[in-house]
């Protein structure tokens, strides 16, 4: 009997070449698949994620699924995998889901957080999870106005990196927020889906607004007109974290 298992996982993306399997590179997908194969050698293992994160990007609430035909009950997968995975990947919960449930296609939204350390001197303990950006103190009120303009369904072609296989660049931004806690500025964006490189390109423009190198009018004109050639600054990957994936039904207890 084949069971479909869904996991909610966390990972520090610093030492990985992104989520997706790549030949001769260490990836999160490949690492998890190798450990599942050690426990369930009866069938080829393919782990499907709700979102494919780039090299260096983190996740605190990634959701994945795989099919298992072995004897391990679903509630044992959390401890079984955590005992084998590296310290940079942790399984928070494992549940049994219907065979037609899909970590990616069943998802209704994804939520990302981008963290900026806006202090004048670097912070050793934040350097792997925040973009240290200090030219000026960021004006988060201007950044908030820019973010609010993104709400709703739009064509975000200006924030899409080359190499995407999507048929179009439409998506719906459902929620946005920005907050400052001392020198740390956090931006959260929730959308039905994200284009390839969308958040990092958007953050590059947003920081330019916060530094007053780009006006609100210029920011709006660039993305509304799809001027990808004028969007040249991408924020680094290590400030980005996938924090939540939303589904219509309640899947996990946490």
pTM for the complete prediction? 0.95
Contact 123, 132 (CB under 8 A): yes
Token digits of residue 222: 């660039």
Rounded to 5 degrees, what are φ and ψ at 13? -80, 5
Nearest to 62 by CA among 110, 115, 14: 110
Q: Which one-letter DSSP state was computed for residue 87?
A: T
Q: What is the pLDDT along the chain (254 residues), one digit of tens a residue?
A: 889 999 999 999 999 999 999 999 999 999 999 999 999 887 789 999 999 999 999 999 999 999 998 888 989 999 999 999 999 999 999 999 999 999 999 999 999 999 999 999 999 999 999 999 998 899 999 999 999 999 999 999 999 988 777 888 999 999 999 999 999 999 999 999 999 999 999 999 999 999 999 999 999 999 999 999 999 899 999 999 999 999 999 999 87
Task: Using CB atoms within 10 Å of the CB of residue 207, give its burial: 0 to 12 exposed, 13 to 18 middle, 19+ buried.
Answer: buried
Phi/psi region, residue 77 (left: phi>0; alpha: psi -120 to 50; beta: rest), is: alpha
Kindly list the catalytic residues.
Answer: 54
As a whole number of angstroms, the distance between CA 68 and CA 45 comes to: 8
Rounded to 5 degrees, what are φ and ψ at 30? -65, -40
């Amino acid at each position: 009997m084949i069971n479909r298992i869904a996991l909610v996982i966390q990972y520090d993306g610093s030492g990985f070449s992104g989520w997706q399997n790549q030949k001769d590179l260490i990836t999160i997908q490949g690492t998890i698949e190798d450990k599942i194969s050690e426990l369930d050698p009866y069938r080829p293992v393919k782990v499907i994620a709700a979102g494919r994160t780039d090299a260096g990007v983190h996740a605190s609430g990634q959701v994945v699924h795989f099919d298992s035909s072995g004897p391990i009950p679903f509630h044992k997968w959390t401890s079984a995998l955590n005992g084998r995975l590296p310290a940079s990947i942790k399984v928070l919960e494992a549940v049994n889901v219907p065979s037609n449930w899909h970590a990616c296609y069943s998802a209704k939204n994804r939520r990302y957080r981008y963290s900026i350390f806006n202090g004048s001197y670097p912070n050793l303990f934040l350097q792997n999870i925040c973009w240290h950006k200090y030219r000026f103190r960021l004006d988060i009120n201007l950044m908030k106005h820019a973010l609010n303009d993104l709400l709703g369904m739009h064509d975000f072609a200006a924030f899409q990196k080359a190499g995407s296989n999507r048929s179009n660049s439409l998506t719906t931004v459902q929620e946005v927020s920005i907050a400052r806690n001392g020198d740390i500025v956090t931006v959260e964006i929730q959308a039905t889906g994200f284009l390839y490189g969308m958040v990092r390109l958007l953050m590059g423009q947003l920081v330019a607004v916060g530094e007053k190198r780009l006006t609100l009018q210029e920011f709006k004109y660039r993305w509304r007109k799809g001027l990808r050639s004028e969007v040249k600054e991408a924020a680094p990957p290590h400030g980005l974290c996938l924090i939540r994936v939303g589904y219509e039904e309640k899947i996990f207890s946490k």
